[in-house]
Amino acid sequence: MKSKTPFLVVTVLALLVFSLLGAYFIFSFKKSKTIAKIYKDKKLVCSISLDDVNQAYTIEIKGENGEINVIEVDKGKIRMKEANCPDGTCVRMGWINGGLLPVVCLPHHVVIEIEGEDDAEKFDDKAY
Amino acid sequence: MDKKKISILNLAWILILTASLSFSGCRTDMQEASKTEEIFGTIVSVKAYGENAEEAVFAALEKAKELEKIFSLTISDSEINYVNQNAFKDAVKVSDEMFYLVCRADYFSRLSGGAFDYTIERLIDLWGIGNDWARVPKISEIEPLVGLHDYKNIVIDSQNHEIKFKTDTAMLNFGAIAKGYIADEMKSEILKHGVKSALLNLGGNVLAIGKKPDGSLWKIGIANPFNPSSNIAFVEVADCSVVTSGNYEKYFEEDGVRYHHILNPETGFPSKSGLAGTTVISPVSADCDALSTATFILGVEKSVKLIESLDGVEAIFISENGDITYTSGISKYHFKELN
């Protein structure tokens, strides 16, 4: 009797520790990096981990009828640098580094979205 | 004695097993579906949780596309284009959806004294804001289209579901209410599928259905009109729509002056009421949509009075100088300013 009770306690404690560790790992996966995703005509063109960018660079996305969007990527941020769309709303949005507001070039069907950052966990959505 | 000990050990195991099973059950049983599409010239995204989530998302987007064919001015054979082309000559029989929205838009036009006016399509088309032909029109072009209050010149025959224009200047444009109405209709579609938790976003118009899957409230950020990619405040809601109108959404610049897309029917020019952004919260997204435009044009003082006179509607007004004013019941949505 005396020899088996500690065994029970140790087993329960060990299981508790393991399950806590497990829970910690499951939840820590949510803290992903800042990932920018670029879509053209609803198709994913590229996905960039913004935290890993060391030097700024640009990506050119060409569409039909001479549509051109130039996207600039820098450490932790991304923007539509140039676009020959009629309204230019996408360029005026400037840099984004998170938030729930994507950069959208409606006329050219180009979307830049940021996923997996703190802001997205803080808010479910955004009214704008 | 030994049997007792073994049964205690067994009991402990069973407890641990059931605990861990129910723990993992929370994470995997909940179905989730989301989709984003471009409909009605705007980005529409739907997220739904629980059983039938996938089907509900699909049905909601189909509904939006169906309504787009009625209310879109850019689809040449849409119902609204047919009405606009024919309703001055003869009374036009319209769909139930069109009839409902005309009645609702008529209500908000009268309520706001014409600040919101669904009959100023000619003026909106003249400016072309959001299109590549956007420009500042000549005064001589604007003048004939100003202060017409044409919403009073629409004959609505509720018996036959017919619409007739009494003046040739009247033309319908539901740009300030249709997105909200489409959101409401998408919500009905989602509820029909038995989904109790979902979130819709139509180009910044948010409609929260139920609560979050974990039972907490949806936390909705409100865009900072001075830096729209950040939030200026947030609210927490369930079964509610949050709609913002702002001078930062659509605009063009000419000779260094910014012309935004919310036109004042009284002046024919982009509204200058001293507001940079307004946010309206109520259970009905169409109401939020119409009222966010109306209040943006009316300015703070009149808007606070207007919103306070309505049941179940709250609003947040952000002035051009950065002042934030809100209506008396806003605290029930846990409104909080951010730094």
The reported pLDDT for the residue numbered B87 is 98
Contacts of B230 in chain A (CB under 8 A): 99
The residue assigned the tokens 């019941």 is B329
Residue A20 lies in a domain: yes
Structural domains in chain B, sorted by start: 74-165 (1.10.3980.10)
Report the alpha-carbon distance of residue B140 to residue B21 in Å, rounded.
Answer: 74
Q: Does the structure show a pLDDT above 80 at B171? A: yes
The phi, psi pair for B105, rounded to 5°, reads: -65, -35
Task: Look at residues B200, B209, B158, B163 and name the one whose alpha carbon lies nearest to residue B182.
Answer: B200
Q: Identify whether residues A118 and A62 lie together within a single domain.
A: yes
Task: Find how far residue B334's CA is from the centre of its chain.
Answer: 20
Q: Does the structure show a pLDDT above 80 at B2? A: no
Residue A62 lies in a domain: yes
* Type and span of the H or E element at A38: strand A35-40
| CATH assignment of the domain containing A73 | 2.60.320.10
Tell me the pLDDT band of B24, cut-offs 50, 70 and 90: very low
- In the structure encoding, which two tokens stand for residue B91, read together? 């009374």
Residue A16 lies in a domain: yes
Q: Identify whether residues A61 and A102 lie together within a single domain.
A: yes
Which residues 225-254 on chain B approach chain A with CB closer than 8 angstroms? 228-231, 234, 242-244, 246, 249-250, 252
Interface mutation target, options B229, B293, B334, chain A, most CBs of A under 10 Å? B229
What end-to-end distance do the CA atoms of chain B give, in Å? 66
Report the alpha-carbon distance of residue A72 to residue B337 in Å, rounded.
Answer: 32
Q: Identify whether residues A71 and A10 lie together within a single domain.
A: no
Chain A residue with Cα closest to B35: A42
> What is the ipTM metric for this complex?
0.85
Q: Identify whether residues A94 and A41 lie together within a single domain.
A: yes
Tell me the pLDDT band of B27, cut-offs 50, 70 and 90: very low
Q: Does the structure show a pLDDT above 80 at B298? A: yes
**Which DSSP category does A88 fall into?**
-
The reported pLDDT for the residue numbered A42 is 80
Chain A residue with Cα closest to B3: A1
Residue A68 lies in a domain: yes
Report the alpha-carbon distance of residue B148 to residue B196 in Å, rounded.
Answer: 44
Q: Identify whether residues A41 and A69 lie together within a single domain.
A: yes
Mode of pairing for the β-strands spanning A125-127 and B218-224: parallel
The phi, psi pair for B202, rounded to 5°, reads: -110, 95
Cβ proximity of B196 and B177 under 8 Å: no
What is the least distance, in Å, from the CA of B112 to any CA of chain A?
Answer: 22
Report the alpha-carbon distance of residue B315 to residue B207 in Å, rounded.
Answer: 15
* Structural domain count, chain A: 2
Tell me if chain A has a CB within 8 Å of the CB of B32. Answer: no
Q: Identify whether residues A44 and A95 lie together within a single domain.
A: yes
Q: Does the structure show a pLDDT above 70 at B26? A: no
The reported pLDDT for the residue numbered A97 is 83
Report the alpha-carbon distance of residue A2 to residue A7 in Å, rounded.
Answer: 9
The reported pLDDT for the residue numbered B28 is 47
The phi, psi pair for B314, rounded to 5°, reads: -130, 160
Q: Identify whether residues A11 and A73 lie together within a single domain.
A: no
Mean pLDDT of chain B: 93
The reported pLDDT for the residue numbered B7 is 63
What end-to-end distance do the CA atoms of chain A give, in Å? 67
Cβ proximity of B244 and B279 under 8 Å: yes
Residue A91 lies in a domain: yes
Residue A127 lies in a domain: no
Average pLDDT over residues B288-292: 98
Q: Identify whether residues A59 and A118 lie together within a single domain.
A: yes
Q: Identify whether residues A40 and A75 lie together within a single domain.
A: yes
- Residue type present at position A29: F
- In the structure encoding, which two tokens stand for residue A40, read together? 């053209």
Contacts of B219 in chain A (CB under 8 A): 122-124
pLDDT tens-place string over residues B149-169: 999 999 999 999 999 999 999
CB-based contact B23 A106, cutoff 8 Å? no
The reported pLDDT for the residue numbered B4 is 58
Q: Identify whether residues A114 and A59 lie together within a single domain.
A: yes
The residue assigned the tokens 């109401």 is B287
3-state secondary structure of B171: strand
Q: Identify whether residues A7 and A55 lie together within a single domain.
A: no
pLDDT tens-place string over residues B174-228: 999 999 999 999 999 999 999 999 999 999 999 999 999 999 999 999 999 998 8
Report the alpha-carbon distance of residue B210 to residue B326 in Å, rounded.
Answer: 24
List, edge to edge, every strand of the sheet that includes B227-237.
A125-127, B218-224, B227-237, B336-337
Contacts of A12 in chain B (CB under 8 A): 12, 16
Report the alpha-carbon distance of residue B191 to residue B13 in Å, rounded.
Answer: 41
Cβ contacts of B230 within 8 Å, gap of 6 or more = A99, B223, B224
CB-based contact A19 B20, cutoff 8 Å? yes
- The answer to whether the pTM exceeds 0.80 is no
Q: Identify whether residues A57 and A103 lie together within a single domain.
A: yes
Residue A73 lies in a domain: yes
Tell me if chain B has a CB within 8 Å of the CB of A101. Answer: yes
Cα–Cα distances in angstroms (integers) from residue B222 to residues B112, B207, B280, in the given order: 24, 13, 11
Q: Does the structure show a pLDDT above 60 at B138? A: yes
Name B325's bridge partners: B317
Report the alpha-carbon distance of residue B293 to residue B309 in Å, rounded.
Answer: 17
Can you say whether the dihedral through the CA atoms of B189, B193, B195, B196 is positive or negative? Answer: positive
The reported pLDDT for the residue numbered A31 is 47
Cα–Cα distances in angstroms (integers) from residue B255 to residues A18, B140, B200, B263, in the given order: 67, 20, 38, 19
Cβ proximity of B165 and B102 under 8 Å: no
Domain residues for the domain of A10 are 1-30
Between B296 and B12, whose confidence is greater?
B296
What is the least distance, in Å, from the CA of A109 to any CA of chain B?
Answer: 9
Cβ contacts of B212 within 8 Å, gap of 6 or more = A124, B49, B197, B218
CB-based contact B38 A122, cutoff 8 Å? no
pLDDT beneath 70: ranges in chain A:
1-3, 25-33, 99-100, 116-121
Between B309 and A10, whose confidence is greater?
B309
Residue A128 lies in a domain: no
Between B7 and B215, whose confidence is greater?
B215
What is the least distance, in Å, from the CA of B42 to any CA of chain A?
Answer: 8
The reported pLDDT for the residue numbered A100 is 66
Q: Does the structure show a pLDDT above 80 at B270? A: yes
Task: Look at residues B54, B137, B33, B64 and name the one whose alpha carbon lies nearest to residue B285.
Answer: B64
Task: Find how far residue B183's CA is from the centre of its chain.
Answer: 7
Task: Look at residues B267, B227, B23, B21 and name the one whose alpha carbon lies nearest to residue B123.
Answer: B267
